Amino acid sequence: GAVVSQHPSWVICKSGTSVKIECRSLDFQATTMFWYRQFPKQSLMLMATSNEGSKATYEQGVEKDKFLINHASLTLSTLTVTSAHPEDSSFYICSAQARADTQYFGPGTRLTVL
């Protein structure tokens, strides 16, 4: 089946630094990838939709300058959390769309900002 990987699986960083998270579709090409944020015991919140070769579309309330998304190829999208602060600590999950109405999710990345 379709597999989506994320790297790193967890990361700890100091406040003020930037962190990059990679999302890869391993055995299929994904023209669209999505980034979600999951707070403890809460649902996934869609942050942005990433289309290969174009700018990401951000959901209302998500700071595009803080959460930089790059979808450089059909198998790779990256999320960079810039100038991270403790309130950015969360579980970030990506998904890749293989075809309409079907998304495959990565295992998630746990970010802790000290």
Q: Which is nearer to other proteins, 10 or 83 (CB)?
A: 10
Residue 98: which of 78, 75, 79 has the closest Cα? 75
Q: Taking the complex as a whole, how short is the minimal distance between the CB of residue 62 and other proteins, in angstroms?
A: 13
Q: Taking the complex as a whole, how short is the minimal distance between the CB of residue 91 and other proteins, in angstroms?
A: 10
Site residues, other proteins (CB under 8 A): 4, 6, 32, 34, 36, 41-44, 46, 49, 93, 95, 97, 100-108
Q: Which is nearer to other proteins, 44 or 82 (CB)?
A: 44
Find the angle CA(81)-CA(19)-CA(16) to the nearest 5 degrees.
75
The phi, psi pair for 100, rounded to 5°, reads -55, 135
Supply 78's token pair. Answer: 């990256």
